[in-house]
Amino acid sequence: MNEERLRQFAALVAKWSPRINLVSKGDLPHIWERHVRDSLELVAHIPAGVTRAIDLGSGAGFPGMVLAVATGIEFTLIESDTRKAAFLMEAARILGAPVRVLNTRIEAAKTVPAPLVTARALAPLDKLLGLAAPHLAENGVCLFPKGRGAEVELTAARAVWHMEAERFASSLDAEACILKVSQIRHVGTSKAAAP
Protein backbone atom coordinates (compact mmCIF):
# COMPACT_ATOMS: atom_id res chain seq x y z
CA MET A 1 0.00 0.00 0.00
CA ASN A 2 1.26 3.45 -0.90
CA GLU A 3 0.10 5.51 2.08
CA GLU A 4 1.79 8.70 0.91
CA ARG A 5 -0.09 8.69 -2.40
CA LEU A 6 -3.33 7.76 -0.65
CA ARG A 7 -2.89 10.70 1.76
CA GLN A 8 -2.27 12.90 -1.29
CA PHE A 9 -5.50 11.61 -2.82
CA ALA A 10 -7.44 12.34 0.37
CA ALA A 11 -6.07 15.90 0.27
CA LEU A 12 -7.22 16.28 -3.35
CA VAL A 13 -10.73 15.13 -2.39
CA ALA A 14 -10.78 17.68 0.44
CA LYS A 15 -9.59 20.44 -1.90
CA TRP A 16 -12.09 19.74 -4.70
CA SER A 17 -15.07 18.75 -2.56
CA PRO A 18 -16.37 22.24 -1.66
CA ARG A 19 -16.68 23.03 -5.39
CA ILE A 20 -18.19 19.79 -6.68
CA ASN A 21 -19.59 18.04 -3.60
CA LEU A 22 -17.41 14.92 -3.65
CA VAL A 23 -18.12 14.11 0.00
CA SER A 24 -20.48 15.72 2.48
CA LYS A 25 -19.26 18.77 4.39
CA GLY A 26 -19.46 16.79 7.64
CA ASP A 27 -17.17 14.10 6.17
CA LEU A 28 -14.40 16.51 5.12
CA PRO A 29 -12.42 16.14 8.38
CA HIS A 30 -12.88 12.34 8.24
CA ILE A 31 -12.01 11.46 4.61
CA TRP A 32 -9.20 9.11 5.64
CA GLU A 33 -11.26 7.17 8.20
CA ARG A 34 -14.67 7.11 6.52
CA HIS A 35 -13.67 6.79 2.89
CA VAL A 36 -10.04 5.78 2.30
CA ARG A 37 -9.81 3.15 5.05
CA ASP A 38 -13.29 1.89 4.22
CA SER A 39 -12.21 1.42 0.59
CA LEU A 40 -9.00 -0.32 1.66
CA GLU A 41 -11.09 -2.96 3.47
CA LEU A 42 -11.74 -4.51 0.03
CA VAL A 43 -8.05 -5.24 -0.66
CA ALA A 44 -8.02 -8.41 1.44
CA HIS A 45 -10.91 -9.85 -0.61
CA ILE A 46 -9.52 -9.25 -4.11
CA PRO A 47 -8.81 -12.64 -5.70
CA ALA A 48 -5.16 -13.43 -6.42
CA GLY A 49 -4.03 -12.67 -9.94
CA VAL A 50 -6.53 -9.90 -10.71
CA THR A 51 -4.83 -7.29 -12.91
CA ARG A 52 -7.88 -5.38 -14.19
CA ALA A 53 -11.08 -4.12 -12.57
CA ILE A 54 -14.08 -1.87 -13.16
CA ASP A 55 -15.53 0.49 -10.55
CA LEU A 56 -19.15 1.54 -11.07
CA GLY A 57 -20.40 5.02 -10.15
CA SER A 58 -16.95 6.06 -8.96
CA GLY A 59 -17.94 9.50 -7.64
CA ALA A 60 -15.01 10.80 -5.59
CA GLY A 61 -12.94 7.67 -6.32
CA PHE A 62 -14.08 5.39 -3.51
CA PRO A 63 -13.25 2.56 -3.75
CA GLY A 64 -11.85 2.47 -7.31
CA MET A 65 -9.13 5.12 -7.18
CA VAL A 66 -8.04 4.03 -3.71
CA LEU A 67 -7.75 0.39 -4.80
CA ALA A 68 -5.83 1.31 -7.97
CA VAL A 69 -3.31 3.33 -5.95
CA ALA A 70 -3.05 0.75 -3.17
CA THR A 71 -2.74 -2.37 -5.35
CA GLY A 72 -1.52 -1.26 -8.79
CA ILE A 73 -4.50 -3.03 -10.40
CA GLU A 74 -5.67 -1.21 -13.55
CA PHE A 75 -9.12 0.21 -12.88
CA THR A 76 -11.71 1.59 -15.27
CA LEU A 77 -13.74 4.16 -13.32
CA ILE A 78 -17.24 4.79 -14.67
CA GLU A 79 -18.74 8.11 -13.59
CA SER A 80 -21.62 9.92 -15.32
CA ASP A 81 -21.17 13.29 -13.55
CA THR A 82 -18.84 15.34 -15.77
CA ARG A 83 -17.35 17.36 -12.92
CA LYS A 84 -16.60 14.26 -10.84
CA ALA A 85 -15.13 12.54 -13.89
CA ALA A 86 -12.88 15.58 -14.44
CA PHE A 87 -11.74 15.34 -10.81
CA LEU A 88 -10.97 11.63 -11.23
CA MET A 89 -8.94 12.30 -14.40
CA GLU A 90 -6.95 15.04 -12.70
CA ALA A 91 -6.36 12.95 -9.56
CA ALA A 92 -5.19 10.01 -11.70
CA ARG A 93 -2.77 12.32 -13.54
CA ILE A 94 -1.35 13.80 -10.33
CA LEU A 95 -1.02 10.43 -8.60
CA GLY A 96 0.16 8.47 -11.62
CA ALA A 97 -2.64 6.00 -10.83
CA PRO A 98 -3.36 3.11 -13.22
CA VAL A 99 -6.90 4.25 -14.03
CA ARG A 100 -8.99 5.11 -17.06
CA VAL A 101 -12.08 7.25 -16.53
CA LEU A 102 -15.24 6.79 -18.59
CA ASN A 103 -17.55 9.81 -18.31
CA THR A 104 -20.79 8.03 -19.15
CA ARG A 105 -23.73 6.23 -17.61
CA ILE A 106 -22.96 2.69 -16.43
CA GLU A 107 -25.60 1.24 -18.75
CA ALA A 108 -23.97 2.96 -21.76
CA ALA A 109 -20.34 2.22 -20.88
CA LYS A 110 -18.44 0.10 -23.38
CA THR A 111 -15.98 -2.04 -21.45
CA VAL A 112 -14.18 -5.33 -21.79
CA PRO A 113 -15.65 -7.36 -18.92
CA ALA A 114 -13.23 -7.54 -15.99
CA PRO A 115 -12.53 -10.22 -13.37
CA LEU A 116 -13.36 -7.73 -10.60
CA VAL A 117 -16.21 -5.21 -10.35
CA THR A 118 -16.55 -2.84 -7.40
CA ALA A 119 -19.08 -0.22 -6.30
CA ARG A 120 -19.72 1.66 -3.08
CA ALA A 121 -22.92 3.41 -1.98
CA LEU A 122 -24.37 3.18 -5.48
CA ALA A 123 -27.62 1.19 -5.42
CA PRO A 124 -29.49 -1.64 -3.66
CA LEU A 125 -27.98 -5.04 -4.46
CA ASP A 126 -30.73 -6.22 -6.83
CA LYS A 127 -30.21 -3.15 -9.05
CA LEU A 128 -26.44 -3.19 -8.53
CA LEU A 129 -26.15 -6.73 -9.90
CA GLY A 130 -28.01 -5.64 -13.04
CA LEU A 131 -25.51 -2.81 -13.51
CA ALA A 132 -22.50 -5.03 -12.75
CA ALA A 133 -23.36 -8.15 -14.76
CA PRO A 134 -22.50 -6.76 -18.24
CA HIS A 135 -19.09 -5.58 -16.97
CA LEU A 136 -18.17 -8.78 -15.09
CA ALA A 137 -16.05 -11.44 -16.79
CA GLU A 138 -17.02 -15.09 -16.53
CA ASN A 139 -15.90 -16.45 -13.14
CA GLY A 140 -15.33 -12.86 -11.96
CA VAL A 141 -16.29 -11.45 -8.58
CA CYS A 142 -18.00 -8.31 -7.33
CA LEU A 143 -16.99 -6.59 -4.10
CA PHE A 144 -19.61 -4.30 -2.62
CA PRO A 145 -19.33 -2.59 0.79
CA LYS A 146 -22.77 -2.54 2.41
CA GLY A 147 -24.32 -1.17 5.58
CA ARG A 148 -26.85 -2.49 8.06
CA GLY A 149 -29.37 -3.36 5.32
CA ALA A 150 -27.14 -5.97 3.68
CA GLU A 151 -29.27 -8.98 4.65
CA VAL A 152 -32.46 -7.31 3.44
CA GLU A 153 -30.73 -6.42 0.15
CA LEU A 154 -29.46 -10.00 -0.27
CA THR A 155 -32.96 -11.40 0.27
CA ALA A 156 -34.46 -8.99 -2.28
CA ALA A 157 -31.68 -9.69 -4.80
CA ARG A 158 -32.11 -13.47 -4.51
CA ALA A 159 -35.66 -13.07 -5.81
CA VAL A 160 -34.28 -12.01 -9.20
CA TRP A 161 -30.66 -13.22 -9.23
CA HIS A 162 -28.91 -16.54 -8.74
CA MET A 163 -25.53 -15.90 -7.10
CA GLU A 164 -22.85 -17.10 -4.75
CA ALA A 165 -22.56 -14.52 -1.95
CA GLU A 166 -20.09 -14.32 0.92
CA ARG A 167 -20.37 -11.75 3.69
CA PHE A 168 -17.32 -10.38 5.50
CA ALA A 169 -17.54 -8.19 8.59
CA SER A 170 -16.05 -4.71 8.40
CA SER A 171 -13.26 -4.06 10.87
CA LEU A 172 -14.26 -0.37 10.96
CA ASP A 173 -18.04 -0.50 11.50
CA ALA A 174 -19.91 -3.23 13.39
CA GLU A 175 -23.00 -2.69 11.21
CA ALA A 176 -21.14 -2.78 7.89
CA CYS A 177 -19.91 -5.65 5.76
CA ILE A 178 -18.37 -6.48 2.42
CA LEU A 179 -20.35 -8.64 0.03
CA LYS A 180 -18.30 -10.82 -2.32
CA VAL A 181 -20.65 -11.94 -5.07
CA SER A 182 -19.93 -14.33 -7.94
CA GLN A 183 -21.66 -16.72 -10.34
CA ILE A 184 -24.28 -14.06 -11.09
CA ARG A 185 -27.12 -14.93 -13.40
CA HIS A 186 -30.59 -13.50 -13.70
CA VAL A 187 -33.39 -15.80 -12.55
CA GLY A 188 -34.74 -17.47 -15.66
CA THR A 189 -31.42 -17.60 -17.53
CA SER A 190 -29.34 -20.73 -17.61
CA LYS A 191 -25.80 -19.41 -17.62
CA ALA A 192 -23.76 -17.04 -15.53
CA ALA A 193 -23.01 -13.51 -16.68
CA ALA A 194 -20.34 -13.72 -19.36
CA PRO A 195 -18.74 -11.36 -21.87
Q: Rounded distance, CA 63 to CA 38, Å?
A: 8
- Is 130 assigned a ligand-binding role in the annotation? no
- Is 5 assigned a ligand-binding role in the annotation? no
Contact 117, 184 (CB under 8 A): no
List the Cα angle 24/61/88 in 5-degree steps. Answer: 105
- Is 106 assigned a ligand-binding role in the annotation? yes
Q: Find the helix packing angle between 150-158 and 125-132, rounded to 10°.
A: 60
Closest CA to 134 of 154, 114, 160, 158: 114
- Each residue of 126-135: b (16+ CB within 10 Å) or e? bebbbbbbbb
- Is 62 assigned a ligand-binding role in the annotation? yes
- Which residues define the annotated binding site for S-adenosyl-L-methionine? 57, 62, 106-107, 120
- Which residues define the annotated binding site? 57, 62, 106-107, 120
